[in-house]
Chain A
Amino acid sequence: MLGINGKRLAVVALRRLNSTLAFIETSGSTITPASFATLTAAKQIGNPITALVVGSKAAEAATSLKQVSALSKILVTADGRFDHLLPEDLSALVVDIVQKDSDITHVLTPASAVGKNFLPRVGALLDLQPISDITKVESKDTFVRPIYAGNALATVKSKDKVILVSIRGSSFAPVELSDAQEVEVVSVKAPEAGNKAEFVSEELITSERPDLGSAARVVSGGRGLKSKEQFAELIEPLASSLNAAIGASRAAVDSGFCDNSLQVGQTGKVVAPELYVAVGISGAIQHLAGMKDSKTIVAINKDEEAPIFSVADVGLVGDLFEVVPELTKKIEDSK
């Protein structure tokens, strides 16, 4: 008996540790790359990490999460109600978890469309001010985040008791995976969310290409492509030759050259690939906000004054209708 009591005491003492709750976004049972980046940020904060996965395939996702060595616990809400990740349900669940576990001092989520949708709602419900889209962890309570479309970096310190943070996926390397570990998996029942929107339908763009948000190479087209047909004729072969994802400027999206979800910039996706090729993109500050942390930037534009050349490592002033097919052929030939 004494032994058991002693053990229980030890557990109680351990429970006083601060801990981080990391929301892991999944698509079916696949964990998104931004979620692995979020776990890296969680490791940098330094507390024991509890991961949360939701949805009808949450149990499968939890199994693959066991390959992350840093986790102390995995919470699973295997409930089909979460398949569309509605913010009313997600915020009610996270609020419930935080209220029941007083050790939680940090809640992290990828700064994806889903994360940005639910985390502020959690903030309102718990009277906390979240910190959006951080690019760096300075300490347990201090973070760096871009403001003004990435034209300034603000270092902010939170005074909140529980710190809510969304993580910019392109700023953190994905957490390393190892062999499956023994991790405690706990099933969590979700509370009723009450007033909520109902899911009607979705229209997702399916593509064989790498995902724009996490691709190592990105080829982006802008207004200079002139038409949807020319965008497809020039950008797609170049992207294929590089095994790159396709991106676009807002001008190209607004002109109907490609789908909205390909937009790179302040209001679209933020990417930081190894190689970013900007074709016929002038480089407005809103676009630069989404790609200027790329390792190598190539710009092809006929206007030598275009602002894109101020961030490009290699710039070629020329007619993209001649240059791009030639470049595509040379890359194919060099393989």
Chain B
Amino acid sequence: MSSKIRILVPVKRVIDAALKPRINKTNTGVESKGVKFSMNPFCDIAVEEAVKIKEAHKEAVESIHAVSIGPSKAQDILRTALAKGVDTSTLVDVGEQEIEPLQVSKLLKKVVEQKDSNLVILGKQAIDDDSNQTGQMLAGLLGWPQATNASKVVVEGDFVTVTREVDGGAETIRAKLPLIITTDLRLNEPKFVTLPKMMKAKKKPLEIVKPDAYGVTIEERLEILKVEEPPARSAGVKVSSVDELVSKLQELKAL
């Protein structure tokens, strides 16, 4: 007999993917005041996949719990996740502090234990720090198998088959629950949230806790010495014909 599946979906609030971030004046980070924030696109895909799995396996999936580790404002993205079909949620309020993947995964491990989750679906990377680490680290801390960069997930009883995007093509692996999955862009297309669903989501559980409640002390391992603009490219030229294009490239020794 297969056991019940309890899915955990960690989500991160990040500067909206369509915006070009501005470096702050002190060169210590990126300007966040007056900037639009959204759910990290890969996390959105993770939520969508969890909901799809629950819809396809109504009997097998007991619950979907979303968790965010971030500022109080991250409640917004948890509400979005709830509106998309997540059942319950937790915000681990760490204030405005940016915390590193190692600390995030230590906190997530506590949440996994508390919620007795056996399938964790995360985005493959957050589009702000671009680390691509948290899922793998959580798998390491829990001693679970990991299936990263998933482009297809098939659940059959206690076993999950995952097709992964790798360099040069795709790879399929199979693992028994519990399992960590991280999502690639091609896994699915997240649906938009309708207003009635958003209204309903306001009644769903959203618990707020502090990191000390999990006995995790947040310590920084990496010190950010500075954040700078990448070197600007020098202005290019526009040409009006293919001949000009070819001669310009020859001049640049690119051909």
The chain A residues found within 8 Å of chain B, CB to CB, are 27, 84, 86-88, 91, 112-114, 116-125, 127-133, 142, 145-160, 194-205, 213, 250, 253-254, 259-261, 266-267, 269, 274-275, 285-286, 292, 295-298, 304, 309, 311-317, 323, 326-327, 330-331, 334
- Residue in contact with B174 in the complex, picked from A145, A194, A198, A259, CB distance below 8 Å: A198
A202 partner residues in chain B, CB cutoff 8 A? 166, 169-172
Q: Is the CB of A316 within 8 A of B242?
A: yes
Query: What's the minimum C-beta distance from B143 to chain A, rounded to whole angstroms?
Result: 6
User: With an 8 A cutoff between CB atoms, is B184 at the interface?
Assistant: yes
Q: Is the CB of A150 within 8 A of B230?
A: yes
B168 partner residues in chain A, CB cutoff 8 A? 27, 204-205, 261
User: With an 8 A cutoff between CB atoms, is B113 at the interface?
Assistant: no
- Residue in contact with B249 in the complex, picked from A142, A152, A196, A314, CB distance below 8 Å: A314
User: With an 8 A cutoff between CB atoms, is B30 at the interface?
Assistant: yes
Q: Is the CB of B228 within 8 A of A152?
A: yes
The residue in chain B whose Cβ has the minimal distance to the Cβ of A300 is: B245
User: With an 8 A cutoff between CB atoms, is B96 at the interface?
Assistant: no
Q: Is the CB of B243 within 8 A of A330?
A: yes
A149 partner residues in chain B, CB cutoff 8 A? 127, 130
A117 partner residues in chain B, CB cutoff 8 A? 136, 146, 148-149
- Residue in contact with A125 in the complex, picked from B140, B228, B233, CB distance below 8 Å: B140
Contact residues, B185-224 vs A (CB, 8 A): 185-186, 220-224
Given A123-B137, A152-B227, A330-B246, do A259 and B169 touch, yes or no (CB 8 Å)?
A: yes
- For the complex with contacts A124-B139, A197-B147, 9 further pairs of A-B residues with Cβ separation under 8 Å are A87-B148, A117-B146, A127-B102, A129-B101, A156-B224, A312-B236, A314-B236, A316-B239, A317-B240
Q: Is the CB of B128 within 8 A of A147?
A: yes
- Residue in contact with B175 in the complex, picked from A124, A197, A254, A297, CB distance below 8 Å: A197
The residue in chain A whose Cβ has the minimal distance to the Cβ of B15 is: A148
The residue in chain B whose Cβ has the minimal distance to the Cβ of A284 is: B18
Interface code B106-146, partner A: CB below 8 Å = 1, 0 otherwise?
Answer: 00000000000000000011011111111111111101111
Q: Is the CB of A327 within 8 A of B30?
A: no
User: With an 8 A cutoff between CB atoms, is B1 at the interface?
Assistant: no
Give 5 nearest A-B pairs by CB, closest first: A124-B140, A129-B221, A120-B136, A120-B133, A197-B175
Cα A131 to Cα B221 with chains together (Å): 10
- Residue in contact with B30 in the complex, picked from A129, A133, A148, A267, CB distance below 8 Å: A148
Given A120-B101, A120-B140, A309-B236, do A213 and B167 touch, yes or no (CB 8 Å)?
A: yes
The residue in chain A whose Cβ has the minimal distance to the Cβ of B143 is: A195
The residue in chain B whose Cβ has the minimal distance to the Cβ of A330 is: B246
Cα A313 to Cα B234 with chains together (Å): 8
Query: What's the minimum C-beta distance from B26 to chain A, rounded to whole angstroms?
Result: 13
Q: Is the CB of A315 within 8 A of B225?
A: no
Q: Is the CB of A123 within 8 A of B146?
A: no
B179 partner residues in chain A, CB cutoff 8 A? 197
Query: What's the minimum C-beta distance from B48 to chain A, rounded to whole angstroms?
Result: 15
The residue in chain B whose Cβ has the minimal distance to the Cβ of A92 is: B140
Contact residues, B46-92 vs A (CB, 8 A): none
Query: Can you list 13 contacts pairing A with B, beta carbon distance less than 8 Å?
Result: A88-B145, A120-B134, A124-B136, A148-B127, A151-B21, A151-B230, A153-B228, A154-B226, A155-B228, A203-B171, A295-B254, A309-B238, A314-B245
Given A88-B145, A200-B172, do A112 and B167 touch, yes or no (CB 8 Å)?
A: yes
Interface size on B, residues (CB 8 A): 81
B162 partner residues in chain A, CB cutoff 8 A? 197
The chain B residues found within 8 Å of chain A, CB to CB, are 15, 17, 20-21, 23, 30, 100-102, 105, 124-125, 127-141, 143-149, 151, 161-162, 164-175, 179, 184-186, 220-230, 233, 236-246, 248-249, 252, 254-255
- Residue in contact with B169 in the complex, picked from A150, A197, A205, A314, CB distance below 8 Å: A205
B101 partner residues in chain A, CB cutoff 8 A? 120, 129
- Residue in contact with B221 in the complex, picked from A91, A160, A311, CB distance below 8 Å: A160
Given A147-B129, A200-B173, A313-B237, do A330 and B222 touch, yes or no (CB 8 Å)?
A: no
The residue in chain A whose Cβ has the minimal distance to the Cβ of B172 is: A200
B237 partner residues in chain A, CB cutoff 8 A? 313-315
Given A156-B223, A197-B145, A298-B249, do A266 and B130 touch, yes or no (CB 8 Å)?
A: yes
- Residue in contact with A327 in the complex, picked from B171, B229, B242, CB distance below 8 Å: B242
Query: What's the minimum C-beta distance from B154 to chain A, rounded to whole angstroms?
Result: 11
- Residue in contact with A124 in the complex, picked from B102, B161, B244, CB distance below 8 Å: B102
The residue in chain A whose Cβ has the minimal distance to the Cβ of B133 is: A120
Query: What's the minimum C-beta distance from B184 to chain A, rounded to whole angstroms?
Result: 7
Q: Is the CB of A250 within 8 A of B185?
A: yes
Q: Is the CB of A121 within 8 A of B15?
A: no
The residue in chain A whose Cβ has the minimal distance to the Cβ of B105 is: A124
B175 partner residues in chain A, CB cutoff 8 A? 196-198
Q: Is the CB of A91 within 8 A of B145?
A: no
B174 partner residues in chain A, CB cutoff 8 A? 197-198, 200
B238 partner residues in chain A, CB cutoff 8 A? 304, 309, 314-317
Q: Is the CB of B149 within 8 A of A132?
A: no
Query: What's the minimum C-beta distance from A320 to chain B, rounded to whole angstroms?
Result: 11
Cα A116 to Cα B148 with chains together (Å): 9
A119 partner residues in chain B, CB cutoff 8 A? 136
B144 partner residues in chain A, CB cutoff 8 A? 195
- Kindly name the residue among B162, B237, B245 whose own CB sees the greatest number of chain A CB atoms within 10 A: B245
